Amino acid sequence: MLDQTQKTTYSTGELARACEVSVRTVQYYDQKGLLPHSDLTEGGRRVYTQDDLAKLRKIMLPSRWACSSRPSVACWRARHPIRS
């Protein structure tokens, strides 16, 4: 069952705050087609969902690891080396 206190839609600013990125970052990923908005308000503002929030968090993982130019698996291995 969905937690009634959990927000189900987000404006661009709310999504940016939830993922600790700038509004411009959200707009950039929307423009590039990586994070298209789910809907528009009557006033033409973008609306994002919980799924969009999860997707943005996945998109941002490599940069949070400071490895944005490497594939995620290689980045993970670089940050968590196997100890013998």
pTM for the full model? 0.67
Average pLDDT over the chain, rounded to whole?
79
Looking at the chain, the whole-number percentage of residues with pLDDT higher than 90 is: 44
pLDDT in tens, 16-35: 999 989 999 999 999 888 89
Residue 24: strand, helix, or coil: helix
pLDDT in tens, 54-63: 999 888 876 6
CATH 1.10.1660.10 matches 9-79 = yes
* Structure confidence at residue 13 as a pLDDT band (50, 70, 90): very high
Please report how many Cα atoms fall inside a 13 Å half-sphere around the Cα of residue 64, on the Cβ side.
10
* Structure confidence at residue 42 as a pLDDT band (50, 70, 90): very high
Extract the runs of DSSP E, i.e. beta strands, from the chain: 9-10, 39-40, 46-49
